[in-house]
Structure 1
Amino acid sequence: MTSTSQDLTVDVIVVGAGPTGENVADRAVQGGLTAAIVESELVGGECSYWACMPTKALLRDATALRAAQALPAAGQAVTGKLDPAAVFARRDEFASKWDDSGQVDWLNGAGITLVRGHGRITGTRAVTVTAADGTTTNLQARHAVVVATGSSALIPPIPGLADASPWTNREAAGAKSVPGRLAIIGGGVVGAEMATAFSSLGSQVTLISRTRLLPGVEPFAGEYVADALRTYGVTLHLDAGAEEVRRDDAGEVHLKLSDGTEVTADEVLVATGRVPNTKDIGLEHVGLEPGSWLKVDDALAVVDDDGQLEDGWLYAAGDVNHRALLTHHGKYQARALGDLIAARARGDEPDLSTWGRHAATADERATTQVIFTDPEVVAVGHSAESAEKAGIDVGVIDYDLGSVAGASLHADGYHGKARMVIDEQRKTIVGFTAVGPDTAELLHAATIAVVGEVPLDRLWHAVPAYPTVSEIWLRLLETAGRDR
């Protein structure tokens, strides 16, 4: 069959139809431009089908069950164990059963042109898209090309690992059955969350990490989660790495660890980091290294070591620019970028010093994160360690969450901790971390305090309702003292 080709010119081309790419295109169209979005997989991206939504659905039933069991009467009313099939069925609904027709309908309603296939940059403001059947579409942008191709799981060069057919977050998120024994390599967010999920579903889980658990957050938060995982029956090998992996003819996976331990499992999940999806998108045509993270300025324009590329037509948003590998931050960047491209197209150049400060506020000084382990971990802004490295005059205020009246009502034996990191010179909060059941709902108040740079003496007038877990804010301020 002879392949065919067509040409299409639009104002903005977005390569990657995950949440970041969708938001860039939507804001550009709302700003009066035309946009085409290119996608080789499912419209909606990693978060919709293989990360945020399905993984949180896997976790929710177990969390709700443990919450009920933490109350005397509710605990007596709850009997039996989780039904994995029912958990998977609910997960399937949140992953739209891996059908993107609803997302495609949204694109059509938003006035965004979808071009399916693999997109490669082929020249200035030019992208060639090759569909599965070999047909090509030559896209030309009047104003901008945005790379929003996201990231994929890193498979580290451990001898034998690649040949052992390891799971990544994708296989874990889409699992159809519960492995009897699951080995997890990596103690970051994905590793900790999936250890929580699969131990709750009945797997015998072993987690292996060369570092402490959850190295990206305050050490106390990782310790709380590690203690909880042990109570769920998870075996932790911290400060130990997998040195060799082998799957035998019977299908069992054998791992040799640096501490001398040997682990046998039915499946092995790799959760050791991410790599950018930029290996085959034509970066060589703009003088960049294929497979590299894309460095950007505060306007999210791609730059090289010598400054901005070309005349500022190439941008990168979301995971690929390595500013904050979180869906909500990718969408935040996307909203700002779509507005910026539309403004520039109108000849209305914004004040980038102001625009940049706002972007940096979220990506550099107020990154927000929820880790959906049980207990949950929430964080925004600096940890005590990162604040010190940034040269801030640091004050650290800790408080036992279980001592707050609302928390003790929330669950018998509530166990948790909150930390407020203060800039002692400016008398503002620059970081907040909490660990405990249902702490996710505390995060946005902390985010507003950090982003708004609200003075501590003003926060005294933000009165938390009694008796709620939010009373932690009053207790933290009391511990800090009015003289701050």
Structure 2
Amino acid sequence: MSDKKNHTYDVIVIGAGPVGENVADRTSAAGLSTVVVESELVGGECSYWACEPSKALLRPALLHAEAARFPGVDAAVTGPLDARAVLKHRDRMAADWNDQGQVDWLDSAGIALVRGHGRLAGPRQVTVRTPDGDTLLLTARHAVAVCTGSSAALPPLPGLDAVRPWTSREATSAGEVPGRLAILGAGVVAAEMATAWQALGARVTLVAREPRLLARVENFAADLVAGRLREAGVDLRFGTTIIAAERPGGPDDGIHLTLGDGTRLVADELLLATGRAPSTGDIGLETVGLTPGQWLTTDDTFTVTAIEGDWLYAVGDVNHRALLTHQGKYQARIAGAVIADRARGRALDTDPWGRHAGTADLLAVPQVVFTDPEIAAVGLTTEDAARTGRVVDVVDYDIGRVAGAVQHDPSYRGRARVLIDPERRVVVGATFAGAGVAELLHSATLAITGEIPLDRLWHAVPAFPTISEVWLRLLETYRDQRQLGTHRQT
């Protein structure tokens, strides 16, 4: 191998999605020479097949639904969404699947880019098979960060290969609206894509083994979403699954599905929204003593615990701590600081909430489900508390009783719940369900991460009339319940 095919950097990042970009940004800004290896588009899953295109499909759907319910506006909403225009908007938001803007950003930040498939080749070494067939050997002085993310986990369904099902990638990038869409799954991807494609004109049937939608959120929030989906015309079938799929004729004949309850279903497309798997099957883990295809376990500094020497990091989905883009970027900021300070020989601050500890992964993970209505949640749910034996006070309030919510929609449907540690008197969990509640989430995240005492929260005055006034109503409800002895605990 010639010298032209051997390169040494301080840091090698495998994967140029938002997580890998942020690791590289932090290490490069700290003065460490950094290279990113990417086999697909720079910007990753979130930019082209997940967050950006999915929200571009969902925003018109939610806006149309809200407008159709609002007095004085409802009469102006006389027809369905313009699906062609929505898909064109989606394409723009996904940069037409062109990553030149992201490549230009890497260049402006002084970060090298190598296109091709990267694999570990031993401690601190990565080989890259480039698109033109060359093999490069990259060596890291300090760190290799695996930021390869996750991919759709497919069930062992008979006939799957012949059916050519959608995964989340096809669901967010499809160029036409299917007449009939079947969705297998009950999680976030299933709920959001049912919302989007039903609004765009597809007849959607959602099939799930689970007894309800969105099992990881509070029941009341999931029930509100399920109710709106049914009102929109989505056929929800819980407690069963698809046991066989086939295309008996040509493409126009559709996909014939057999369900576990004995019923049959015909669809034009089948979306498998059945979870995620680590993208670690072919990245050379075996060369450093790890098992290919597994999630990579890390400590709170995002250092892989099974590897000696503090040189291998796993950041983002690949470590299975919190499979969310914003949480992966949070991890990347911390991992970048860890790598940079270790390279300088500096001590790390790994105490909870320290500069080098991913504490929020454990205590304050925010998430928004962009359905109708939206769900915004952070911290514990009541189910989390019950499962772990933690005693919390549960406070609920009907958001539709808040003046700002009525201004937003006179027929507003929504609910808020906070969980309070009765001993420390701080918020440890919050869930909001309703239109526009995504913008409430950061205030809840601040309350939890800052461990703001309730007595201090009383001084955080919400503007009138806004939906954020629900915070005051929750505090008032909790005060009254405590005084009357009617407060509810898990």
What's the TM-score, normalizing by structure 2? 0.95
Match of 2:340 among 339, 342, 354: 342
1:377-396 Cα deviation digits (max 9, x unpaired): 11000001102333322111
Q: Distance in 2 between matches of 1:112 and 1:444?
A: 31
Match of 1:457 among 418, 440, 455: 455
Q: Please tell me whether the aligned partners of residues 334 and 356 of structure 2 are also in contact (alpha carbons under 8 angstroms).
A: no
Q: Please tell me whether the aligned partners of residues 299 and 356 of structure 1 are also in contact (alpha carbons under 8 angstroms).
A: no
Give 1:225 shift.
0.5
1:264-294 Cα deviation digits (max 9, x unpaired): 1000000000001100000001111100000
Q: Distance in 1 between matches of 2:26 and 2:132?
A: 31
Matched with 2:488 is none
Residue aligned with 1:399, SS:
strand
For structure 1, which segment, 343-352 or 388-397, has the greater mean C-alpha deviation from structure 2 after superposition?
A: 388-397
Q: Please tell me whether the aligned partners of residues 3 and 135 of structure 1 are also in contact (alpha carbons under 8 angstroms).
A: no
Q: Please tell me whether the aligned partners of residues 378 and 440 of structure 1 are also in contact (alpha carbons under 8 angstroms).
A: yes
Q: Please tell me whether the aligned partners of residues 351 and 357 of structure 2 are also in contact (alpha carbons under 8 angstroms).
A: no
Matched with 2:392 is 394
Give 1:70 shift.
2.1
Matched with 1:214 is 214
Matched with 1:247 is 247
Give 1:355 shift.
5.9
Give 1:332 shift.
0.3
Matched with 1:427 is 425
Q: Please tell me whether the aligned partners of residues 118 and 130 of structure 1 are also in contact (alpha carbons under 8 angstroms).
A: yes
Q: Please tell me whether the aligned partners of residues 3 and 136 of structure 1 are also in contact (alpha carbons under 8 angstroms).
A: no
Give 1:470 shift.
0.6
The aligned amino acid for 1:81 is: P
Q: Please tell me whether the aligned partners of residues 300 and 359 of structure 2 are also in contact (alpha carbons under 8 angstroms).
A: no
Q: Distance in 2 between matches of 1:25 and 1:296?
A: 19
Q: Distance in 2 between matches of 1:203 and 1:323?
A: 35
Q: Distance in 2 between matches of 1:253 and 1:481?
A: 56
Q: Distance in 2 between matches of 1:4 and 1:253?
A: 54
Q: Distance in 2 between matches of 1:335 and 1:94?
A: 25
Matched with 1:260 is 262
Q: Distance in 2 between matches of 1:310 and 1:392?
A: 35
Matched with 1:272 is 274
What's the TM-score, normalizing by structure 1? 0.96
Give 1:204 shift.
0.3
Give 1:78 shift.
2.8
1:160-182 Cα deviation digits (max 9, x unpaired): 22331000011111110000000
Residue aligned with 1:76, SS:
helix
Residue aligned with 1:102, SS:
helix
Write out the 4+ residue segments of structure 1 that deviate beyond 4 Å after TM superposition: 2-5, 354-358
Q: Distance in 1 between matches of 2:101 and 2:73?
A: 38
Matched with 2:374 is 376
Q: Please tell me whether the aligned partners of residues 401 and 415 of structure 1 are also in contact (alpha carbons under 8 angstroms).
A: yes
The aligned amino acid for 2:477 is: T
Q: Distance in 2 between matches of 1:364 and 1:85?
A: 42
Q: Please tell me whether the aligned partners of residues 187 and 208 of structure 1 are also in contact (alpha carbons under 8 angstroms).
A: yes
Matched with 1:192 is 191
Unaligned stretches of 5+ in structure 2?
Answer: 484-490
Give 1:185 shift.
0.3
Q: Please tell me whether the aligned partners of residues 334 and 355 of structure 2 are also in contact (alpha carbons under 8 angstroms).
A: no
Matched with 2:479 is 481
Q: What aligned pairs does 1:268-307 form with structure 2 within 5 A after superposition?
A: 268-304=270-306
Match of 1:329 among 316, 327, 333: 327
Matched with 1:107 is 106
Give 1:350 shift.
1.4
Q: Please tell me whether the aligned partners of residues 126 and 139 of structure 2 are also in contact (alpha carbons under 8 angstroms).
A: yes
For structure 1, which segment, 335-344 or 103-112, has the greater mean C-alpha deviation from structure 2 after superposition?
A: 335-344
The aligned amino acid for 1:64 is: L
The aligned amino acid for 2:288 is: V
Give 1:242 shift.
1.1
Q: Distance in 2 between matches of 1:392 and 1:231?
A: 37
1:21 and 2:20 aligned: yes
Give 1:235 shift.
0.1
* % identical aligned pairs: 58
Give 1:354 shift.
4.8
1:146 and 2:145 aligned: yes
User: Could you say what the CA RMSD is over the residues aligned between the two structures, in angstroms?
Assistant: 1.6
Q: How many aligned positions are there?
A: 479
* Residues 25 and 19 of structure 1, relative CA distance in 2, 3 Å threshold: same
The aligned amino acid for 1:82 is: L
Q: Distance in 1 between matches of 2:269 and 2:79?
A: 26
* Residues 34 and 4 of structure 1, relative CA distance in 2, 3 Å threshold: closer
1:67 and 2:66 aligned: yes
Q: Please tell me whether the aligned partners of residues 171 and 271 of structure 2 are also in contact (alpha carbons under 8 angstroms).
A: yes
The aligned amino acid for 2:143 is: A
Give 1:79 shift.
2.6
